[in-house]
Structure 1
Amino acid sequence: MGFELRERWGANPLWARWVLAVYLVGLTEGTGSHIADLVRGGIHAYAAFPQLPLQVFFVSLVLLDPLAAVLVGLVRREGIWLANAVMVTDVSANWWGNRHWLRDDPAQLLCLLPITFFGLFVAALAVPLHRTVAGAESRPKAALPSA
């Protein structure tokens, strides 16, 4: 498995490996953030959001973020699409759920900049990254030396 994983990473150009690494860092940070929220607030950690679907979604990110991270780490195309879907939804849910700040205290919106920039990064590079990973998967594998 280790050799195959190194081969999957190595089959991609340097830019794609960097993008995959940034995806991993961001998704891992998101996982940690949502776990910390649940440790602090329990199942009602997101009760400040009045919409139940948003609360459920944010709790579900404890599973979705690490799943996407594992799939990205394995250089799976499914991981790229899952990361994109998770981040587009996460950014949208954060902006929707915190829209009252636009009126009450716009400076608080600065807190949403890191997740917004990461979400834009993931969304902007999802298609070229997917194409590159798919191309690397379709290339013939190097022959293993016979013993």
Structure 2
Amino acid sequence: MSAWMHRAPRWTVALVWLYVAVLLLVGAASHFTDLLRGGIYTYDWAPDWLNVYWASLTVFDTAAALLLLLGRRSGTDLTCGIMLTDLCANWYAVYGLQRGGFADHPGFQRLTLFAVLVLVSAPFVRGRLGTPRKAAPEGCAEENLVGGGGGSG
């Protein structure tokens, strides 16, 4: 277990594990299965750029999960980026290409709910990841440190 998990509140650790589980077990696994089944261009109804994007999520979902497990703030940043772009891509696929509705696509409903969870909770999770802030050396006011506070110049 990473050291950050011992420092972070339990709710942060639980959310990170939820993010990782969904990114790896749902996201990366389904995109990897698609790659095995049909290569990069799995969906013949979708434009090439959309197929390439979905195939690339095999790598990006896995990278985000690994960064999160390492306690890196960039893991939450990447996860948010993935969720925003995946939501937009799927919205385009459902409404623009398939002319369907939200109620007709349970997978899109689950993606939307998870995206909302991630986007709402990520700022709180991100603030608890990374290295702890170093204290100012004894006898040294924080304002006197380079980049440590206000002051005139």
* TM-score, scaled relative to structure 1: 0.81
Gaps of 5+ in 2: 136-153
Report the counterpart of residue 145 of structure 1 in structure 2: none
Q: Which whole-Å CA distance do the structure 2 matches of 1:100 and 1:45 have between them?
A: 18
- Paired residues for 1:130-145 under 5 Å: 130-134=126-130, 137-138=132-133
Q: Report sequence identity in percent.
A: 30
Give the deviation of 1:8 after TM superposition. Answer: 1.2
Q: 1:105 to 1:126 in 2, by over 3 A?
A: closer
SS across alignment from 1:48: coil
- Report 1:1-147 matches (<5 A): 5=2, 7-28=3-24, 29-50=26-47, 52-100=48-96, 103-104=99-100, 107-134=103-130, 137-138=132-133
SS of 2:105's partner is helix
- State the secondary structure of the residue aligned to 1:137: coil
Structure 1 range deviating more: 35-44 or 59-68: 35-44
Partner amino acid for 2:132?
Answer: E
Which structure is higher in helix share? 1
How big is the shift at 1:105?
6.1
What CA deviation, in whole Å up to 9, does each residue of 1:78-135 have, x standing for no partner?
001001101111111111111158845664222311111111111111111111224x
SS in 2 for 1:49: coil
Ranges in structure 1 where 5+ consecutive residues have no aligned partner = 141-147
Q: 1:104 to 1:127 in 2, by over 3 A?
A: closer
Assess if the C-alpha contact under 8 Å between 2:103 and 2:109 holds in 1: no
Higher relative contact order (CA 8 A, sep 6+): 1
Inter-CA distance 58–12: structure 2 relative to 1 (3 Å threshold) = same
- Give how far 1:22 is off: 0.6
Aligned to 1:143: none
Count of residue pairs brought into register by the alignment = 134
SS at match of 1:75: coil
Relative distance call for 1:21 and 1:139 in structure 2 (3 A) is farther
